[in-house]
Structures are given as C-alpha cells and as structure tokens.
Amino acid sequence: MSTFPNSPRLLKGGLVLIDADTSAVQRIIVLQYNPDTLSRTLQPQAVKESGDRAEAMRLTGPPVETIKLDAEIDATDQLEFPDQHANAVQFGIQPQLAALETILYPASAQLLANNALAAAGMLEILPTLSALTLFVWSKSRIVPVRITDFSVTEEAFDTALNPLRAKVSLGMRVLSVTDLGYDNKGGSLFMAYQQLKEQLAAKNGAGALGTLGLGGIP
C-alpha cells in the first residue's frame, strides 16, 4: 500500500469475457502487472486498386488494428504469505495461465456434446460460439478483440515443477463493425471506441501552415 493517502489509485489493464447477446460478464482477467510497452498497428482499409481514380481516396471501413503486449506473472510475493495464498503454494501460477489460455479453447462440455451429436448421426454441427473478449486499457480503450497470437515463456519452477514466473506475449486483433456488425454488443463498443478517438482528435491543437514553411497550399 502506498504511504501517500492521496496518491492516485493504479488502474490495471486486463481482459473481460462477456456474453455477446446478453452482455453478462463471464470472466474478468486482471493483468498482475501493467506491461511497460503496448504496440499497436493500424492497417487502412482502402478500395483495392482498380485503375479508377475516383476510388483512390475511398475507405471501405475502419482500419484493421492489432495490439501486442507482454504480460508478466509472478508468484514470488504470494509465496511469502503461504497461509493467504494456498493456490500459489499448490499450483504456482498455473491458475493465472489457465485463465488466459482457456480463452482460446472451446468449452470441454461443448466439445463432448458435439461429439455426442456426431456419434448420433448429426450431419452438420455448428462451430462452438465463444464469449466476446474485450481488451480493457482504461475507460477510453474498451475494445472487442480476437486473440491471434499467444506464447508463454515459463522462467522458474517449484519442486513440484509448478511454474512460478512467466511472460505471456499476447497478440490481438481489434474486431470492428466490419467484423461484428452494428447490432452486436461488440460492434457498439467499437463505435464508442472510434467516436472517442474522434473526440480526442478534436482536442488536439490546430497546426499552422507557417510551421511547415508554407504560406498556403500551392
């Protein structure tokens, strides 16, 4: 705890899994430590080259945005107080890793149910519908995402070979209204995300042509 009572509360980033139809929260995963860096890439969605000059400035939709970060998980502090952290003593950081990894898995109950349907002669079985994953990085960044890349480097183990420290590298693709539509909960969250960007852009001070060494556009 901070020794300064008036110090601001440190917010954490994380992932929230919700039901896309009801918006009911299914799981909240808080990153133990906020990553030092977060990289984002935006790829514009322009009209493909067709030789038509009228199409050169047209955009077909929001850019494809990807987010990458490295999250550290460490049980060292918890192991100093074993009476308060029985899970860390018994399992190390496996529960935290499992909470992240199982985002990528269909529910085992659904897999078994689909297998039973296939054994009963069902000809067409729909792929399992996953929860909608939201990446939360402050109130101004709540975006629906699909995890596209996930890697784990485990760095220390206890005597039972439970991992005690790890670095998780996450790659995520932001899902826009192009992916989800406007009526989907994720689509509405994306629109709020884009609209906030537009509001923030409006707060940026206007530049002057003179700063660029121009008296006007030739």
* Predicted local distance difference test score (pLDDT) of residue 1: 45
Has this prediction a pTM greater than 0.75? yes
pLDDT of residue 49: 67
Residue range 142-191, pLDDT digits in tens: 999 999 999 999 999 999 999 999 999 999 999 999 999 999 999 999 99
| Residue-wise pLDDT tens digits, 24-44 | 999 999 999 999 999 999 999
Mean pLDDT (the chain) is 90
Average pLDDT value for residue range 48-68: 83
First-residue to last-residue Cα distance in the chain: 60
Give start and end residues of each alpha helix (H) in 80-218.
86-91, 94-101, 108-119, 177-180, 185-203
Average pLDDT over residues 107-134: 87
pLDDT of residue 3: 54
pLDDT score, position 169: 97
